[in-house]
Amino acid sequence: MPEQLRFAHVDARRIVAKPAAMDAVTWPTGTIALRIADDDVLLIGAGTTDITAITDITVADEHAIISDDAGWSGIWLTSAQVESIALRHIHWPLPPQRPVLAQGLIAAIPSKLWLGPDGDALLLVATVSVDEMQERLS
Amino acid sequence: MTDISDGQPQVEVRSSATPAGRIVIDNQPIEFFAGDTVAIAAIRAGQHPATGGTLCLAGDCGNCCAIVDSTPWVRTCQTKAKPGLAVLRQPAVGAPALNLTPPKSAVSSPIAAVIDVRHINADVIVVGGGASGTAAATQASADGHTVTILDANEGNEVVGIYAGPTVIVRTPEGMRHFHAHEVIVATGAADLQPACEGNLSKGIYTAGAAATLAETHIELDNALTVTSQPVRIVADDNGWVSGVVTADADGNDVLSDCNSLIVDLGHMGRDLLSRMTDERAVTIVGPAAEHYPLPPCPTSGIVCSCSKVTVEDLDGVWLRGFNELELVKRAALFGTGTCQGGVCMPYLRSFVADRAGSVPEPFTARPISRQLTIGEASAGAYADNFRMSPLHDEHLKLGAQMDRFGGWWRPWNYGDVLGEYWAVREAVSLGDVSTLGKMVVSGPDVVEVLERLYPNNVHDIKVGRSRYVLLLNERGHLLDDGMICRESETRFVLTFTSGGASFAEMWVRDWVETWGLDCHILDRTTSLAAINVTGPLAGELLRRVGVAEPPKFLQHRHETVAGVPCHIMRLSFTGEASFELHHPVHRSVELWQTLMAEGRALGIKPHGLQALFGMRLEKGHVIVGMDTELDSSPRRIGMEWAVKMGKPYFVGLEALKRVEPLPDHRRLFGFTMASPAPVEGAPIYHDGTIVGHVSSSFDSPLLGKAVMLGWIKREPFPDTVTIDGRTATVSAPPFYDAEGRRARA
């Protein structure tokens, strides 16, 4: 990838609850709910939405864990950038449907790639690995 | 054109075409024609592309390998000639000299600084573009598959098939890793090469090679074709063929003069790639799959031309008892050269069949099938990713020497280990413990989960309190240690060591699912940073940044510290009052800087791992993985107090019960001796015999002597031992503040 990619801190909320309770949640408008497991959602803001200002997340599970999650950095990629990253650094097939969350190693670093409906994508990586990721992708 | 550069007329070119350029072989320029490979160009010029040996011109053998543009072991028969290409012949015996030219970057290939690599998901891969490959591709395509044909003659050299199946291909554009649903190997058949005296001479061609030469308008001079194994091949003083001895119908030797020898001995399946895998998704078709009759057992000469293994060598290892094909291979290094047994295998099978009386199956082929440069082999591989704490840059600003530990970059020291030590012991210090594993568990069954996971009692931990715990595996051996902090009746925060954190989530989740208990799990290791404020003035520093009443020993609570939301845990690993401040990763720098600024008047210094390891050793705290071994039980490390054997169940309980009545011959002990401290790993002697080793050692500034932990693995356990030639006393830790007053202060 010729250009230097610059990741930025991503504010997020993390919700861990029973899968059935997760299924029933209507996520606030202006957010993207990344279902990283049946019982686990990483909620991020779309566009200008400040996810930290959203406090009215209700999940029908009294033992649900709902907390801020400040451990992510991300970058929006164009479809062309996704293509070049996919070819060079992803060893697994990207799912064909859109939108979709793909998870796996990218450049040998655990990553999440949210492929949006319009072809753009959000690449998320733990902030503790973001410097290494930037170096490997650039 | 006839070239006699090597003293022997070998070829005649019947073409009116004009040369396309010149390449350089051993500093001698030679012309080539459009479409020529390096080997063809060399032959056209009356030369052998290497130092000798039968040429197949099909990429099977290694007899044409040379150093091409600084890359050794290049098959010149598959390398297109192009103007200016520099070719050096490799030595006839041994490997080419290492190219010690500094690489342009991290890869070692002298050709390209970075080898491009692509991972391609494919449906059906057909290896080989000949008749059988084309037929297989056509059929697969008709069956609705998307087919990719990889043909070495088109520059796509398949060098290995791995599990998956994954097909590794060297192309002119770089390496390509195809992840396929199905692989069809259609590599055809190879010509058998002669195995007799003189077979490394120049001027010997297989029948296939001779046909290739004819297609390129090269007519071999005074060529003779033999269809049975020669008795021997005769060469002149320059190493060129001058005749061949064959056996007549009566078994008598017959010498025939010739300047070129064409050997037409039959074929063998080109099955090297298919022998790399037994996956169902890999099939072999066409001539490659056929069973060809084995040649007669060789009687003399070199059988494996890559490794220069002779019949005498094979007999030698056979007589020494290596009486299986795989054993002969390993003992004689047969088939371990550049062709990987691709050419010589029939002769080895024939040899073993003759000696053993039954025909052995071919040996498994190991990828790769031919030499790659280190750059090509490592293309697409990444070094381990060592994570960086959010305070990484802060450490660098403070002059930290960073090192890799437990999967993270961590400050080893800040250039003043002693100053760091005394800051902890006498004032206040900050340590970056962001690397600790951190996990939230919540649910109606959470107490039951933790009671089963940990050997301590959990149910009696009060809300707002915490407890040190061991984590054992089913064998009762130590996996990790950490803290349990109770946040509510049904919610806890668990901590794990830095090295154990990545494993911890899998371990806990696996057990929860195995038991079918209702408990949510959230790993927060990389979401939360943590700073350890430690030292006798640690509480004072916290008060100065807004914590009116710092938690007491083993208490924990959520509170804002210097404007940053923190989970404060009061514990101690250094032996002094310590407060771990767990906080959001993106607020870590501001918290660190505020603490450093406010602590300046208190004599604050950050401390690195080097000082920390020493201080915890003064307290006798073990570091899992450093002081413990894979089979360390709580008893062996002197931590039975952390195990409640009366509990109805916990992971590892049954194993501990079984070994409890048995004597144990291994224990972790504390030792003290006069400084200097011996190196970690130093052997421990008793009565002149090694009885163990030192796992941790430290010259204690406070105690004025060396303190150590170490294993003694022989009973009776002695009171004194010898380490580094000096007497050391077995001494139960902790060596410092045994009552723990300072940690609780």
Nearest to B390 among A90, A108, A127 (CB): A127
Residue at which a domain ends, from B227, B251, B267: B267
Q: Are residues B317 and B200 in the same domain?
A: no
At A86 the pLDDT is 72
Q: State whether residue B522 is helix, strand or coil.
A: strand
Per residue in A21-68, pLDDT (tens digit) is 999 999 999 999 999 999 999 999 988 889 989 888 999 999 999 999
Residue B3, in any domain of the structure: no
Per residue in B156-207, pLDDT (tens digit) is 999 999 998 999 999 989 999 999 999 999 999 999 999 999 999 999 999 9
Q: B interface toward A at CB cutoff 8 Å?
A: 117-119, 121, 177, 179, 380, 382, 385-390, 392, 408, 434, 440, 442-444, 446, 490-491, 518, 520-522, 524, 526-528, 584-587
At B144 the pLDDT is 97
Average pLDDT, chain A: 92
- State ipTM: 0.96
Set of chain B residues whose Cβ sits within 8 Å of the Cβ of A127: 390, 526, 585-586
Q: Are residues B736 and B595 in the same domain?
A: no
Cβ of A33: how many Cβ atoms within 10 Å?
18
Residue B406, in any domain of the structure: yes
Domain containing residue B334: CATH number: 1.10.10.1100
Q: Are residues B121 and B241 in the same domain?
A: no
Domain count, chain B: 7
Name the residue in chain A with its Cα closest to that of B389.
A128
Set of chain A residues whose Cβ sits within 8 Å of the Cβ of B434: 128
Closest C-alpha among A93, A98, A94, A92 to residue A120:
A98
What b/e string do you get for B487-502 counting C-beta neighbours within 10 Å, with b at 16 or more?
beebbbbbbbbbbbbb
Q: Are residues B216 and B317 in the same domain?
A: no
Task: Residue window 46-85, chain A: list those with CB within 8 Å of chain B.
Answer: 63-65, 67-72
Residue B6, in any domain of the structure: no
Longest dimension (CA), chain A: 49
Q: Are residues B482 and B516 in the same domain?
A: yes
Alpha-carbon span B96 to B72, nearest angstrom: 7
Q: Are residues B119 and B67 in the same domain?
A: no
**What is the residue range of B55's domain?**
11-89
Structure tokens at B25: 């072989």
Please, what are the averages of pLDDT over each run of 10 residues along chain B (745 residues)?
Answer: 43 68 96 95 96 95 94 92 95 74 41 71 95 97 97 91 94 92 96 96 97 94 95 96 95 95 96 88 95 94 94 97 95 91 93 96 87 86 90 97 94 98 98 98 98 98 98 97 98 96 94 98 97 98 97 97 98 97 97 98 98 98 95 96 97 97 94 97 97 98 98 94 98 95 94
Domain containing residue B485: CATH number: 3.30.70.1400
Domain extents in chain A? 11-69, 73-137
Q: Are residues B163 and B289 in the same domain?
A: yes
At B25 the pLDDT is 96
Residue B639, in any domain of the structure: no
Average pLDDT, chain B: 93
At B10 the pLDDT is 58
Closest C-alpha among B675, B677, B693 to residue B685:
B693
Q: Is the dihedral of CA B301, B304, B306, B307 positive or negative?
A: negative
At B15 the pLDDT is 55
Q: Are residues B185 and B218 in the same domain?
A: no
Q: Are residues B275 and B186 in the same domain?
A: yes
Q: Are residues B310 and B289 in the same domain?
A: no
Alpha-carbon span B327 to B320, nearest angstrom: 11
Which letter does DSSP use for residue B152 in this model? G
Domain containing residue B45: CATH number: 3.10.20.30
Alpha-carbon span B66 to B57, nearest angstrom: 14
Q: Are residues B336 and B468 in the same domain?
A: no
Alpha-carbon span B272 to A41, nearest angstrom: 48
Q: Are residues B418 and B554 in the same domain?
A: yes
Record the pTM: 0.78
Q: State whether residue B344 is helix, strand or coil.
A: coil
Closest C-alpha among B294, B370, B341, B331 to residue B79:
B370
Contact predicate A128/B387, CB 8 Å: yes
